[in-house]
Structure 1
Amino acid sequence: MTSTTDARTDPRTEPTRRGGAADTTRQAVVLVTSLLAIVAAFIGSGAVGGTPIQDAAGGWLDADSTLVAPARPAFGVWSVIYTGMLAYAIWQVLPAQRTSARHRRIGYAVAASLVLNAVWIGVVQLDLLWLSLPVIVILVAVLAWLFVQLRRMPPNGAVDAFVTDGSIGLYLGWVIVATAANATAVLQAAGFEGWGLPAEAWAIGVISAAALVGIALAIWGRGRIAPALSLSWGLAWVAVGRLTDEPSSPATGIAAAVAAGVVLLVTLVARVASIRSARDDRQAGAAGRA
């Protein structure tokens, strides 16, 4: 039996308290930072005076800069991610969500991820490519922490699952691919020559690492679909870039395509296993009550 103390400290069973100034402040911070991220994205696109990301920082983040760079259409996923994060910001600001233990737990971390995203765009705009790497590494760490919290605290209904888990999951999956591409660009810009190993070997290694992270998320997350979708999307566009554009590398392209497929397959298997496990638990519970 769970003790009274445990019930108070377990965020999944935290009693709902009446919302106060702290909750209102948190909700406002998340909403404002989501708008900040969208403004920064417009600047990064070059639409409002900034330099397009593909042209900033010496062009090292363009689709043809490294073997791990996704083809340009891949970056359209940012529109979906920004829309999702704005939807989350609006969802969590609703009065009914003010005292949600889940939003209390993740709110400021979500805001931090959005600020980090804007900072990343800012340092790239300033041509500080080297600084973009630690920023995006911190960003992926924050998103991974959020993924863990969402896994531990089940959603409060279908809307919460779609808006909260879906948006943050897509964000995480894509940033994993972006981190791999960013790290590769920084190393090449710094003159790293691969310690004698072929560039394709390094590229396949980086792609494999990203895929392994995706597989780990699939297994631990019991088949959460959103991270797998955006991660596989990014890897698939790496494959397209290497098979149809420069720098051409059939081996890298095939490896990226295989990696994308494996991440999706493992996620689907984990999802089916999770559904079956939940069904078996329900049936066992019903049998125990009979």
Structure 2
Amino acid sequence: MTTAASHSSIGDTAGRRDVARQLVVLISSVLAIVAAFIGSGVIVGTPIQDAAGGTLDADSTLIAPGTGAFRIWSVIYVGMLAYAVWQALPAQRHDERQRRLGWWVTASLVLNAVWIASVQLDLLALSLPIIVALLVVLCRLFVILRGTAPKNRVEAVVADGSIGLYLGWVVIATAANATAVLVAAGFEGFGLDPEIWAVLVLAVAAAAGVALAFWGGGRVAPALALSWGLCWVAVARLTDEPRSVTTGVAALIAAAVVAAATAIARVRQERARQRSTGDESSAVSDERAVSG
């Protein structure tokens, strides 16, 4: 009797925690979208590109993406809201994958809101460690997604897809943020030409994209968002100030490298899956032959 009561109590506690997790993820996603809407300066306040003295504007540094790049935030926010609503459904309440994702998703949304606040308050130097922390949290989410499979296509889109877009974009956003902080601080590049530094930063972003591609088995969403950001860096440098053909071409090459690496990793993953399926079918056939 005591044992049964203990199990029931543990189950009730876990159930309450699951409900709390679902509600926190849902509420934090809504609040993050509201904070982004206000912080973007759509109605009140200063647009992000004009905040902090315009250091994050499209013409502030060689790594700054063109203004059109930021449209991806609408897609990311819609995706994260869709995930928040989906994970709040009763069917996902006790799902182990959602238990592992939930609090990290909340952390990412809170950090994003804090980043917006830091920029709006002209705390540009503080914005860098915040976005780095956001990148670390998103990498943690990617590890969880990589280690567990979605139950169905809906989960693959709203969870894996939305978080993947979020991660890919924050990779290039971190590079742009770091560059803006260094330029604002008066960093002169140890005598190296700014275009050399720009190419090096883009190479690092591309390397991160390649690593995500092979580590994640060719997941499309991170590569799509990162390539989108890189292409908009190219657009800004080829059509806007500070104009730099070298940086623009390097950004296009970086985007192509990320896309190619993702395609190769995806093909390798699919071939490995087919080999695994073939080996299992062969083993079943051999077992049947022996038993027959």
Q: Same fold (TM over 0.5)?
A: yes
TM category (shorter chain) comes to over 0.9
Matching residue of 2:20: 25
| In 2: Cα distance, 1:259 partner to 1:234 partner | 10
Where in structure 2 are the equivalents of 1:208-219 lying within 5 Å? Answer: 208-219=203-214
> Matched residue of 2:281: which SS?
helix
Q: CA RMSD in A?
A: 1.2
Q: Check if 1:89 corresponds to 2:71.
A: no
Does structure 2 retain, via aligned residues, the 8 Å contact 1:235–1:260?
Answer: yes
Matching residue of 1:9: none
User: 1:19 deviation in Å?
Assistant: 5.8
Where in structure 2 are the equivalents of 1:66-105 lying within 5 Å? Answer: 66-105=61-100
Matching residue of 2:52: 57
User: 1:275 deviation in Å?
Assistant: 0.8
Matching residue of 1:263: 258
Where in structure 2 are the equivalents of 1:1-290 lying within 5 Å? Answer: 20-290=15-285
Letter in 2 for 1:121: I
Letter in 1 for 2:180: A
Cα deviation 1:12-51 (Å, max 9, x = unaligned): xxxx999611000000110111011101111122123121
Q: What are structure 2's unaligned runs of at least 5 residues? A: 1-10, 286-292
Aligned residues: 275
| In 1: Cα distance, 2:211 partner to 2:148 partner | 19
Letter in 1 for 2:110: V
> Matched residue of 2:252: which SS?
helix
Q: What are structure 1's unaligned runs of at least 5 residues? A: 1-15
User: 1:214 deviation in Å?
Assistant: 0.4
Letter in 1 for 2:109: L
Matching residue of 1:8: none
Cα deviation 1:189-212 (Å, max 9, x = unaligned): 000000000000111100100000
Does structure 2 retain, via aligned residues, the 8 Å contact 1:19–1:98?
Answer: no
| In 2: Cα distance, 1:151 partner to 1:196 partner | 42
Runs of 4+ in 1 over 3 A off after TM superposition: 16-19
| In 2: Cα distance, 1:235 partner to 1:195 partner | 25
- Relative distance call for 1:18 and 1:165 in structure 2 (3 A) is farther
Cα deviation 1:96-151 (Å, max 9, x = unaligned): 00001001001000000000000000011101001000000000000001001110
User: 1:273 deviation in Å?
Assistant: 1.1
> Matched residue of 2:49: which SS?
coil
> Matched residue of 1:127: which SS?
coil
| In 1: Cα distance, 2:237 partner to 2:94 partner | 48
| In 1: Cα distance, 2:81 partner to 2:51 partner | 26
Matching residue of 2:290: none
When normalised by structure 2's length, the TM-score is 0.92
| In 1: Cα distance, 2:245 partner to 2:216 partner | 32
Does structure 2 retain, via aligned residues, the 8 Å contact 1:81–1:167?
Answer: yes
- Relative distance call for 1:87 and 1:164 in structure 2 (3 A) is same
| In 2: Cα distance, 1:148 partner to 1:72 partner | 31
Larger radius of gyration: 2
User: 1:255 deviation in Å?
Assistant: 0.2
Letter in 2 for 1:181: A
Does structure 2 retain, via aligned residues, the 8 Å contact 1:232–1:263?
Answer: yes
Letter in 2 for 1:75: F
> Matched residue of 1:68: which SS?
coil
| In 1: Cα distance, 2:43 partner to 2:91 partner | 36
Does structure 2 retain, via aligned residues, the 8 Å contact 1:18–1:99?
Answer: no
Letter in 2 for 1:43: I
Letter in 2 for 1:253: G
| In 1: Cα distance, 2:191 partner to 2:40 partner | 37
| In 2: Cα distance, 1:71 partner to 1:146 partner | 28
